[in-house]
Structures are given as C-alpha cells and as structure tokens.
Structure 1
Amino acid sequence: MVSPVPVGPPVAAPVAWGPAVVVSADMTGGPTGFEPYILDTADKLRVFVYGQPNLSRLYTVDQVGNIAIPLIGTVRARGRTTVDLTHAIAAKLGREFVKDPQVTVDVAQNRPFFILGEVRLPGQYPFVSGMTIEQAVAIGGGYTERASKRTYRITRKLGPLVDQIEAPGDYPLCPGDTVFVYERFF
C-alpha cells in the first residue's frame, strides 16, 4: 500500500525570535565618516528651488518619513540621501509645475541623539558632527558616581533594522543613536 503524497508547498515551522544579540564594535566596523547620510524622522532639511521662493524653505521630516512641499504634496525622505531627495523633488515639480526645476537639498540640522543610563542629565540632545561617546557623556552632564567608563551600548537604527553594539568611549556616533552608560558592579 502506498501512502499519499502531500500536495502543495511545504509548511514552514514558526520562527521563534530570541533575545537581541549585542556584538562588539570592532566586529561591526563603525561609521567612518564617508558613508552617505541617510535621512530619517526629525531631520531638518533646507530645500532651495531656484526661482521659486515660496517653495524654498526649511522642512522637517515627519514621523512617517515625509516632507510636505506646497504644490507637489508629500515626498518620501526617510531612507534617502539628500541627492536622491533632490532628484525626487525635481521630478515631481517638473511633471506639472516648473519647467526644468533646479533643486538643492541639504541637511540644516541632524536628528538628535539620546543618552541614557549612568549620566547626570540623561535625555535627548542635538547631534554634533564628529561626536564620540565620551563627548556625548560630557553633553549629558558627565558620569554619575556609579558609572562604568569601560564600554557602552549603542543602539542604532539601520533602515528597518535596529543594531546594538558595545563600543569604547572613542567610538564615533551617528545622528539618532542611543547611548547607554552601564553601571559598574563593585
């Protein structure tokens, strides 16, 4: 007697996600300063459209990842570079409103970074280009008396993924990073 053969695609077992894995900064590399800046929520952008003063102004990337520009409506900014966004705005304007639009987009203010844990003034602060973890701690009011000064945890959003790494004090930060200062155990 022959047993029946199942018909249809195989059914995959459900995937159980475990706890987040924290890796050392030397394994992931880290920002070198040569990566293109990827736009995200809370970035303030300066958009200049030549010959169109009503369109040329500061725009803030909203929670959904868009900017709202008069005449053309919302334009997706999250996940794009300033060059990509320049081309998207020019294309939308050029379709109906402006003949051969000359558009420039640059970052007027980066999104903030966050510092938590054993610092005197945890919270959200404006990002400064070239900042390291130790400089972020100084901005956060310095260490508390219980702070560990050996390693720190950085949480960084990379597109749809969130990466957590342990890094030394001289590790460079990116806009939107969250730095956690550990408590020492002695």
Structure 2
Amino acid sequence: MKFYVQIALAGALAALGGCAGQTPLAGSGAAPPPAEAFRLSSGDKIKVATYGEETLTGDFEISPAGTIAFPLIGEVKAAGLQTEELSKEIEAKLGDGYLLNPKVSIQVASFRPVYILGEVNKPGEYPYTQGLTIRGAVAKADGFTYRANEKRVFLKRAGEAGEQEYPMTADFAVLPGDTIRFGERYF
C-alpha cells in the first residue's frame, strides 16, 4: 500500500510541475539595462553651428559609413560619438590651420527611425521622438491586433546582434534605431 501512495504522490508532483511558470529567459528582466548617453549613428541628421562662420554652419546627415562631409576639413567620423565629442573633434580640426579658437555647437535635428513590427495594427518605420516608451510605440502603431501577446515584447537595440524578450509590465524607453516586435499569442 505504501508503494501506491508513493506512486500517486510522484504523479501529483509531476502534474503540478507542469503548471509551474517558465524559467526566465536571458534578458527577461523588468526592463533593458539603461542606455548610456546618446551616441550618433548613420541616418541621424545634425545641425552644426560654427560661431562667427556662416559658411561653416549647416545641416548634415551622417552617412552609412558613419561620417559627415564638413567644409574645409573633409570627412569627419561622427558615428559612435556624442554630440559634445563631435564638436570637440571639429573644433580641433578647424583649429589646425583654418580658424583661430573655433567654437562649434551641434544639435541633433532628427534621429534614426524606430521600427515597430509584429502584432500591431500598423507595423512599420516611425520617426523617433524624445521620451518615446514601449507603450507609446504601441500607440504610434495604432494599437495591438486581436492576436497580439500583450504581455511580452521583443527588443533589438541598434548595434546589438539579437533581440531580447521583456515583460510588458515595464514601460521602458525606446531609443533611436530600436526594433520593437510584438509576438502572437497562442490561445
């Protein structure tokens, strides 16, 4: 009789084990790690102002190679730099035989777009706006479809190799160049 009780107990534990939740996946924390300071990348458009030099002031788009073509000094690497770092780089090159003590200011005119894909009503490419969150991205894409899994989101940050899965409980920030995908629910 004791043997049958042990078998029944083992069967009950196995059945209850199937009811347990899934083990968390890599990257399934409450939110992705906070992004470091914004860095320029190809596709970003910037406004460069060189004080006292109208001919060295203008709008530039960062090329696919990660550079801008700046008057007098030619190609300047911009991708991977913060705006302050790029300002100092241009100042150094202009100060090397072109201008005396140049002052350069840079502002981002427009950011890389974000891509909102999967089970949303209007998937596609959308312009990035500062302060955009995951829930704001859903709103931009006209909400979820009836098939959407509204509990999970897949996020691929620009420059990263693959996407990570996160719970929708956290409304975290979207960055320029991000690809956001909402999966399909199964039931």
Establish whether TM, by shorter chain, passes 0.5. Answer: yes
Q: Which TM-score applies when normalising by structure 2?
A: 0.80
Q: Does the 8 Å CA contact 1:38/1:80 hold for their aligned counterparts?
A: yes
Measured after TM superposition, the shift of residue 119 of structure 1 is: 1.0
Identity of matched residues, %: 39
Q: What's the secondary structure of 2:39's corresponding residue?
A: coil
Give the whole-Å Cα distance in 1 for the aligned partners of 2:123 and 2:30. Answer: 28
Q: What's the secondary structure of 2:53's corresponding residue?
A: coil
Q: Does the 8 Å CA contact 2:154/2:181 hold for their aligned counterparts?
A: yes
Q: What's the secondary structure of 1:96's corresponding residue?
A: coil
Q: Per-residue displacement from partner, 1:17-40 (whole Å, max 9, x unpaired)?
A: xxxxx62242774226xx311110
Q: What's the secondary structure of 2:90's corresponding residue?
A: helix
Q: Per-residue displacement from partner, 1:160-183 (whole Å, max 9, x unpaired)?
A: x43522123312111110000100
Map 1:64-75 → 2, pairs under 5 A: 64-75=65-76
Q: What's the secondary structure of 2:128's corresponding residue?
A: coil
One-letter amino acid of the counterpart of residue 181, structure 1: F
Q: Does the 8 Å CA contact 1:116/1:122 hold for their aligned counterparts?
A: yes
Q: Does the 8 Å CA contact 2:156/2:164 hold for their aligned counterparts?
A: yes
Q: Does the 8 Å CA contact 1:86/1:105 hold for their aligned counterparts?
A: yes
Give the whole-Å Cα distance in 1 for the aligned partners of 2:182 and 2:64. Answer: 27
Q: Higher Cα Rg: structure 1 or 2?
A: 2
Give the whole-Å Cα distance in 2 for the aligned partners of 1:102 and 1:24. Answer: 43
Q: Does the 8 Å CA contact 2:32/2:166 hold for their aligned counterparts?
A: no
The 1:71/1:25 distance shift into structure 2, 3 A limit, reads: farther
Q: Does the 8 Å CA contact 1:30/1:172 hold for their aligned counterparts?
A: no
One-letter amino acid of the counterpart of residue 44, structure 2: D
Which structure's residues are more often strand, by fraction? 1
Partner of 2:78 in structure 1?
A: 77
The 1:162/1:28 distance shift into structure 2, 3 A limit, reads: farther
Measured after TM superposition, the shift of residue 97 of structure 1 is: 1.3
The runs of at least 4 aligned residues of structure 1 exceeding 4 Å deviation read none
One-letter amino acid of the counterpart of residue 80, structure 1: L
Give the whole-Å Cα distance in 2 for the aligned partners of 1:84 and 1:91. Answer: 11
Map 1:146-157 → 2, pairs under 5 A: 146-157=147-158
Structure 1, unpaired ranges of 5+: 1-21
Give the whole-Å Cα distance in 2 for the aligned partners of 1:46 and 1:171. Answer: 28
Structure 2, unpaired ranges of 5+: 1-24
